[in-house]
Amino acid sequence: MSTRIKELREKQARIVAEARERLDLINATTDEARAAELEASHDAAMAEHDRLERLIEREETVSNLETRAAEQRRKQRPISDTGESRAQDDAGEKIEYRHVFAKVICGVAPSDLEPEERAVLKKGLAAFETRTQVAGTNSAGGYTVPVELANQIIISMKAFGPMYDEAICTAITTTSGNIINIPTINDTAKIAAAHTEGADLTDDGGEDVTFGQKSLEAYSLDTEFIKWSWELDMDSIFSMEALLGGLLGERLGRIANRRLTVGTGSSQPNGIVTASTLGKTAASTTAITWDEIIDLEHSVDPAYRSSPRCRYMFNDTTLNAVRKLKDGQGNYLWQAGNVQQGTPGSFNGRPYSINQDMASLGAAAKVMLFGDFSKYFVRKVGSPVIGVMRERFWPQMGIAGLIRFDGELGDTAAVKHLITAAS
Question: φ, ψ for residue 267 (rounded to 5)?
Answer: 60, 20
CA torsion sign, 131 to 134 to 135 to 141?
positive
Write down which residue in 74, 89, 108 finishes a domain. 74
Residue 288 lies in a domain: yes
* DSSP-derived 3-state class of residue 315: coil
Distance (Å) of CA 43 to CA 50, 175, 179, 186, 348: 10, 48, 48, 45, 20
| 46 and 173 in a common domain | no
Do 70 and 83 fall within a single domain? no
Three-state DSSP class for 46? helix
Contacts of 102 (CB under 8 A, 6+ apart): 85, 233, 390
Asked if residues 383 and 154 have their Cβ atoms less than 8 Å apart, the reply is yes
**Are the CB atoms for 219 and 405 separated by under 8 Å?**
yes
Query: How far apart (Å, rounded) are the C-alpha atoms in residues 395 and 239?
Result: 17
Same domain, residue pair 249 and 111: no
pLDDT tens over the chain, length 423 residues = 677 778 888 888 888 888 788 877 887 788 888 888 888 888 888 888 888 887 787 777 767 766 766 665 555 444 333 333 343 444 455 676 666 766 665 556 667 777 787 777 677 655 544 444 344 333 333 344 444 455 656 655 655 678 888 889 999 988 888 888 888 777 777 788 888 888 888 888 778 888 888 888 999 998 888 888 888 878 777 777 778 887 888 888 889 999 999 999 999 999 999 999 999 999 999 999 989 999 999 999 999 999 999 999 999 999 999 888 887 777 777 777 665 666 667 888 889 999 999 999 999 999 999 999 999 999 998 888 878 887 778 888 888 888 899 999 999 999 999 999 998
* Residue 133, in any domain of the structure: no
Nearest to 50 by CA among 256, 345, 255, 362: 345
pLDDT digits (tens, 9 = 90+) for 69-124: 666 555 544 433 333 334 344 445 567 666 676 666 555 666 777 778 777 767 76
Domain that holds residue 87: 77-127
| In a shared domain, residues 169 and 81 | no
Domain tally, the chain: 3
| Residue 264 DSSP label | B
Both 412 and 310 in one domain: the answer is yes
**Rounded-to-integer distance, Cα 85 and Cα 402, Å:** 31
Burial call 54-63: b when 16+ CB within 10 Å, e when fewer: eebeeeeeee
Give yes or no: residues 38 and 81 share one domain.
Answer: no
